[in-house]
Amino acid sequence: MKKALVTGGLGFLGSSIVRVLLDRGVEVRVLALPNEPMTNVEGLDIEVMRGNVLDPDVCKEAVKGMDTVFHVAAVYKDYMPDPTPMYVVNQTGTYNMLEAARREGVEKTIYTASIVSLGRPPMGVLGDENTKYDAWDIDFAYGRSKFYSRLLAESFAEWGMDVRVVCPGIIFGPGDLGPTPSGKLIIETVKGENPPVYVDGGASYVDVRDCAEVHVLAAEKGKAGERYIASKHNLNNLQLIESVNSVAGVTRRYFRVPVPIARAAVSLKEAQDIRAGKEPSLTRTFFEYSLKPSFFNTEKSVRELGATYRPIEETIRDAIEWFRANGYV
């Protein structure tokens, strides 16, 4: 791997992938939206191309001369009044980029899916790369858009193109400019903006830097057509909140709330935020999705790629320090 394109390379995960590639001595080109800030890549020796993955001609130009493509660009939101743009970017943008890479004869394409493009395993069972998507009863736009986008990317692999898929868990860490919905969890917990309550449920979490390393390892050691989960820490909702508070030096007691009461409270708060013209801090859709623990066995990335993962406390500490340094907390 000598020359690599990273779409979304100015973003949270994309910029971390850029740094891992530069550490490997790879020449990096980034495809970014016209108005995206350069904050996460300031001082880095990279080529920045401005454009949109929805423009096929831009995609064709972006892949020229590249031997590897990391397609990271996507819309990641848990609330949109109209989720159509999310579906369009996450699917049409994926098609445009992979088709451009195919026509250019790019050697390898690493597609960033998501752990939510897989299914939530049954209670008491760890999921893996082959767990089937299950959230058909919930109108979870981001999860569905990434599910369909992953199928699209894997179709290119079935047609003979070297496409490798990485499914990150919920990503935390420094550099979350957005901030992403996962970053907001940390910010709101540290600021004490949410009531001291929790409900059952949980998810799998990963440091953005470790996730970036898995992407590059997938390009170096992975196999065409394979999926690799990039995640490490399976935490229930209370464990996550307590971990954030512990690292932040906050002492707060939390109380378990029955689901019907929590559901009513979330619905009321979402409606209030929307009426006030604000993005809801927690949507009913994300609440319903997270009630079922999404815990995964991530040993495939360790066994086949040699991935390593840092402690979750280190990730949370670095995220909080970055948010504080940049005025989010």
Residue 135 has what pLDDT? 92
* 111 C-beta neighbours (distance < 10 Å), count: 26
Please report whether residue 285 resides in a domain. Answer: no
Residue 275 has what pLDDT? 92
Please report whether residue 198 resides in a domain. Answer: no
CATH number at residue 57: 3.40.50.720
Please report whether residue 136 resides in a domain. Answer: yes
Residue 54 has what pLDDT? 98
Residue 151 has what pLDDT? 97
Residue 290 has what pLDDT? 87
Contacts 24+ apart (CB under 8 A), 150-153: 150/111, 150/113, 150/114, 150/117, 152/91, 152/94, 152/95, 152/98, 153/71, 153/94, 153/98, 153/109, 153/111, 153/113
**Radius of gyration (Cα) for the chain, nearest Å?**
19
Please report whether residue 179 resides in a domain. Answer: no
Please report whether residue 270 resides in a domain. Answer: no
Residue 180 has what pLDDT? 84
Please report whether residue 256 resides in a domain. Answer: no
3-state secondary structure of 133: coil
Residue 221 has what pLDDT? 98
Residue 279 has what pLDDT? 84
What is the pLDDT tens value at each position of the chain, 329 positions in all? 999 999 999 999 999 999 999 999 999 999 999 999 999 999 999 999 999 999 999 999 999 999 999 999 999 888 899 999 999 999 999 999 999 999 999 999 999 999 999 999 988 899 999 999 999 999 899 999 999 999 999 999 999 999 999 999 999 999 999 888 788 889 988 888 778 888 999 999 999 999 999 999 999 999 999 999 999 999 999 999 999 999 988 888 999 999 999 999 999 989 999 999 988 878 889 889 888 889 999 899 999 999 999 999 999 999 999 999 999 98
Please report whether residue 24 resides in a domain. Answer: yes
Residue 196 has what pLDDT? 87
Please report whether residue 58 resides in a domain. Answer: yes
Q: How far apart are the first and last CA of the chain?
A: 39
Question: Could you give the number of structural domains in the chain?
Answer: 1
Residue 213 has what pLDDT? 98
Give the domain range for residue 104. 3-173+205-232+296-311
